[in-house]
Structure 1
Amino acid sequence: MPALNKLGQGGFSIGLELPLDNDWSSSGRQANAASSRVAGEPDLQRHAELARLADRLGFRALWLRDVPLYDPSFGDAAQVFEVFTYLGYLAGITDNILLGTAAVVLPLREPVLTLKSAASVDQLSGGRLLLGVASGDRPVEYPVFGRDFDQRGAAFREQVAMLRDWGDTHLPPGIRLLPQPAAPLSLLVAGLAQQSPAWIGEQMDGWLAYPGMPEDHARRSAQWRTVSGGGKPYVSFIHLDLDADADMPLQRFRFGGRTGRKGLIAELQAMRAAGVQHIGLQLRQNRRPLAETMQEIAEYVLPQFDTACIRQGIA
């Protein structure tokens, strides 16, 4: 699983969660209100430019969520684009950065087409796909797709089995699904997907854990090592507002915090000590321009954890 191996190189790595827009900051909310976008819909005018910048600066992965429908009660359109279509686009405009889903809602999707889409992205990206999967948590979506919300756990298990045998037990004799992945796809799960911890630990290659403080991750990562047998990556995310004052101490808010780069380094070191192997930074609450923030992280933070990171184009 080359993509999974690359994610864990060096023991700890840092990525970014899309969309690359600070639309949850106060200025971003004002811009949203003055536009024709719905609440929670990011401004995607610079999405390609910023994805290329993340690749050049040496961030390890870009993570995409799978949100098929906009639900005003959630108020979050995620990165808007259909996840596999967008992955294919990102594969074409980047060279090195891993492309991860956090996570594809398997029970809503036609299983055979999910396999074909995932294999297509993996081949077109040169083996950079990290396929995060989930059972979904938005009940309104299931009737629209003609799916049973209460049966999503069973549907999830069935689709994981298809991903593992590449549909061989579900296709008519002599029929093949192309393209076939060059190597088994890396499967990571968000949460428990209506399954037991033991099943998740046995079947999945990694865990996408919900955001939390270091002490939360120490407890969760220990549980993950117990059920998975160790050696499988534990991944999580932080909502970050990186202040221009490098010495600003960490001020926590839900799912993350506001801090200067020294506080960010200390928090990431604590995360690493707690057993986290990869952190995806979510910058939607960031008050500063994202390109400026990404460059600062690449120059001062990435080298603290990854001495081999590629840091081209740093201002």
Structure 2
Amino acid sequence: MVTPLARLLYGGFSIGLEAPLDNDWTSCGEQARRLSGRLPGEPDLQRHAELAQLADRLGFRALWVRDVPLYDPAFGDAAQVFEVFAYLGYLSGITRDILLGAAAVVLPIREALLTLKSASSVQRLSGDRLLLGVASGDRPVEYPLFGRDFEGRGQAFRQQVETLKDGGRSRLPDGLELLPRPPSPLPLLVAGLAQQTPAWIGAHMDGCLAYPGAPADHQRRVAAWRAVAGDKPYASFIHLDLAEDRSEPLQRFHFGARTGRDALIEELTTLKAIGVDHIGLQFRCNQRPLDETLHEIAECVLPHFHLQSPED
């Protein structure tokens, strides 16, 4: 069986999506949010299943979801709202091929064995499609509410990683085993440094989930990652507003850009050339209907980068 990481890397570069599949950060989206009574930063999820299935059919390589346990108005972002493992399990049942990524599970506020069981369950139920992004968390308000120490999150992260890596054997007495066994080792991709040294991260993690940035940012980060992790995958994200005019030049904004598809292809080609292995596109700033946008990218952008899956 081809592992999730091998599928992510097949062809040398791949393109995925980041949930929620919504364009609620536009002026029209904000107006709709107010009319519906949703909280600031709370996406409209009426079409999430339909759009996830469309992304699967169109050939996007991965669908990433975030782990935001509690809504904090100070951050103004509720992510995709659903509990991360419950949502990944649901998505595994309504899609067939697309990889399912967590970007990223906040390990120190969770119970290690239950995290392992949840991740192993999603891995088995999805047919080995889980990419488990992990992090130490950056929202101090959550830690006391879960009875965890914010200052000690670095050590807790290391202990959780050990449990995930050894299938819980270091935590279980003789005679006990945690089921289900995942069909392949859980691939761990780290967001940030998780309070660890770069050397530790490079040795213990299977991939990197980097913050969005311009190519120059990624060039520096890729070099730093390769120095400690070799050829392990480097992935990041772009907040994208895809213009109708294919020739509209790229205009950067925080974490992303507005651009026509020609400049988008050029940007992705540059990222591939400097060593980025995967880009997830996020559409909350996108002005156009999402199904229209997904079709254009699938028909006119993906063929420049995606080979057929090794399983096809």
Q: Normalising to structure 1: TM-score of the pair? A: 0.97
**Structure 1: gaps (5+ residues):** 311-315
For these two proteins, the number of residue pairs brought into alignment is 309
Contact 2:7 2:309 survives alignment (8 Å): no
CA distance in 2, matches of 1:217, 1:191: 13
Contact 2:136 2:194 survives alignment (8 Å): yes
What is the match of residue 85 of structure 2? Answer: 84
CA distance in 2, matches of 1:290, 1:133: 28
SS in 1 for 2:152: helix
Contact 2:249 2:263 survives alignment (8 Å): yes
Equivalent residues in 2 for 1:162-177, closer than 5 Å: 162-177=163-178
> What is the CA deviation profile of residues 231-286 of structure 1, one whole-angstrom value per residue up to 9, with x for unaligned ones?
20000000000000100000100001000100110111111112100000010000
The alpha carbon displacement at 1:299 in A equals 0.4
The alpha carbon displacement at 1:308 in A equals 2.2
Contact 1:215 1:274 survives alignment (8 Å): no
Equivalent residues in 2 for 1:132-147, closer than 5 Å: 132-147=133-148
What is the match of residue 121 of structure 1? Answer: 122
Equivalent residues in 2 for 1:170-249, closer than 5 Å: 170-228=171-229, 230-249=230-249
What is the match of residue 275 of structure 2? Answer: 275
CA root-mean-square deviation: 1.0
What is the match of residue 60 of structure 2? Answer: 59
1:297 and 2:291 correspond: no
CA distance in 1, matches of 2:13, 2:183: 26
Matched letter for residue 283 of structure 1: F
**Structure 2: gaps (5+ residues):** none
SS in 1 for 2:36: coil
CA distance in 1, matches of 2:170, 2:255: 41
Equivalent residues in 2 for 1:5-84, closer than 5 Å: 5-84=6-85
Q: Normalising to structure 2: TM-score of the pair? A: 0.98
Deviation beyond 2 Å, 4+ runs, structure 1: 307-310
> What is the CA deviation profile of residues 106-138 of structure 1, one whole-angstrom value per residue up to 9, with x for unaligned ones?
001111100000000000000000000000000
> What is the CA deviation profile of residues 46-88 of structure 1, one whole-angstrom value per residue up to 9, with x for unaligned ones?
0000000000000000001000000000010000000000000
What is the match of residue 132 of structure 2? Answer: 131
Contact 1:60 1:98 survives alignment (8 Å): yes
CA distance in 2, matches of 1:186, 1:290: 30
CA distance in 2, matches of 1:104, 1:196: 19
Contact 1:106 1:159 survives alignment (8 Å): yes
CA distance in 2, matches of 1:213, 1:119: 35
The alpha carbon displacement at 1:307 in A equals 3.6
CA distance in 1, matches of 2:285, 2:26: 4
Contact 2:68 2:81 survives alignment (8 Å): yes
CA distance in 1, matches of 2:183, 2:22: 34
% identity of equivalent residues: 70
CA distance in 2, matches of 1:82, 1:276: 29
